Amino acid sequence: MANIKLKLYLFSMICYLLSVTPLSAGGKKNVEEPKTMNDEWILCVTAFDYSLLSSARRITGDVITRDLVNKLQLVSYRFRISPEYAYYESYAWDQAISAAAKAIANKQNERAQLLYRGDPNWKYRKNLKKIDEDLVKLEEAYAQKLEERPLINKEPVFKLNQANLDGSYPAPPKTGGERRFCQSQKSDAFLSGQIREFHNRYYIKLSLFTLYTNSWIYEDDIIFSLEDIDGAVDEISARLDMALAGNKPARVAITVDPPESQILINQKYAGTGTVQARERPPGKVTVAIAADGFIPETVETELAPGEHTDIDVALGAVEYADVNISVQGNSGAAVYNGALYVGEAPYTLRLPINQLDYVTVKARNGEAAKAVFTSPDIPEKTSVISLKAKIPPSSGQKRVNKARSWYYWAWGSAWITIIAAWTSDGMLKTYTTALPYSSDPAFYESAQRVYTVQSGAVICMGAAITYGIYRMVRYLYTATEDVTPIVKVEKR
């Protein structure tokens, strides 16, 4: 009885699971993501105009073009603003409606041609019925297209057209043919440029034409020298990338005290004291400020698209301390702070606090001294540096190379004498072991000669090692003789 109850229980559980499982599975529906259109934004870079460049400088034009195209490939997407989105939405909508209307027209033409095919009556009615059913479906699809606007990708992937990726640049279109050019290149926009000489410098002008506006929407130019080519390409490509990505430019304004401060933005000179709000590409910006008598400062900030940033900086005044330079037994020696002559010893230098400085003194008799030191870290304190001058070693004799060569030869000789001493010692041990078993006078004389050779080899080894140590010390002294010492200032 218990087995029957157990079987009934198991059977009921299986039936329950079989009834519930399909319901649960049926409740899961895969939600399909809406399919967007125009998922790519294609740019065509045309061949830049080098006609005003000399033939020797056209290679530089090619380099600039390649660098600019390489930087454009770093753009990953474009944000479509409302007018652009509306253009592509309307374009796609018109295409969809036109395709639906064309399908209805084709089906109606097919219906009209049934009368002239000469089909039997039963076949004519059958085909007519089928075409009428298709027409109803096509008209429903047409009505649906009228009600539904297509979904356009708001952030399409940015790409260069295939010709640019293959390393070729088509010639730019003539005036009035810009729209047809975009359509023939299957591109949403094209970039044209001109590079020419300007007073022994380079002048670049860029222009961007977009299909959705049917006009030129962006122009930029920059003048630079050949030495600044990398920075110029970075500067103009950053602004162009911002336009291509559809981002709004950021704005930054800088106010600095004192007013005579020099201001650099991303290593480019921007002005003094106050820089009015100017547009910058979104991203990291570095502002460097410096003024005579003040501690320089660097400010880094991240600019967001459309953001206006104000940077206010007040430089702190540099604090000074006095350092007295004296030369033992050589009053009147010339004192140089770095490479700048400042006066005669004893001389007091007024230096910014806690700063690494380099001082050289040169006496009239040819003696000289030099030192590296750190100025005091407490302002308005006087410290003393006492230097001992001496005749500097001649730099024309290649003393260090000669000392190094002698050191290598000395230690090479030492190793030769060590091997000779080790070999002769082994031979002597062999003779010493065999000597008690031999009474031959010639064997005894041979052992004596080996002993003499071994003793000489040991003496030579000791002399060679001693000479090697001497040459090593000499080499170290010669190599460091002219090194600038780091001295510690004596506080008063």
Q: What is the pLDDT of residue 182?
A: 92
Residue reference for tokens 């010893």:
345
Q: In which element (H, E) is residue 270 found?
A: strand 268-272
Rounded Cα gap, residues 218 and 225, in angstroms:
24
Domain 249-318 has CATH 3.30.830.10: no
pLDDT for position 465: 92
249-318 shares its CATH topology with 320-387: yes
CATH architecture observed for domain 320-387: Sandwich (2.60)
Residue ranges covered by each domain of the chain: 40-141+153-217, 249-318, 320-387, 399-480
pLDDT at 24 over 60: no
Token pair for 164: 């640019």
pLDDT digits (tens, 9 = 90+) for 426-442: 888 888 888 787 778 88
pLDDT at 289: 92
pLDDT classification of 74: cutoffs 50, 70, 90: confident
**pLDDT over 80 (residue 72):** yes
Calpha distance 230→238 (Å, rounded): 12
315-321 mean pLDDT? 85
Question: Which one is predicted more confidently, 269 or 25?
Answer: 269
What pLDDT, on a 0 to 100 scale, did the predictor assign at position 17? 42
CB 290 within 8 A of CB 270: no
Q: What is the dihedral of CA 196, 198, 204, 207, to 10 degrees?
A: -80
Q: Is 382:348 a contact under the CB 8 Å cutoff? A: yes
Q: Is pLDDT at 199 greater than 70 in this prediction?
A: yes
Query: How far from 39 is each of 81, 85, 153, 157, CA to CA, in Å?
Result: 15, 12, 6, 6
Q: Which of 56-70, 133-147, 319-333, 411-425 has the lowest mean pLDDT?
A: 133-147
Render pLDDT for 234-254 as a digit per residue (tens, 0 to 9): 888 888 887 787 766 678 899
Q: How far apart are CA 379 and CA 371, in angstroms?
A: 21
Question: Greater confidence, 177 or 238?
Answer: 177
Q: How far is CA 379 from CA 189, 258, 318, 354, 359, in A?
A: 63, 22, 10, 9, 20
Does this model's pTM top 0.95?
no
Residue 116 has pLDDT above 80, yes or no: no
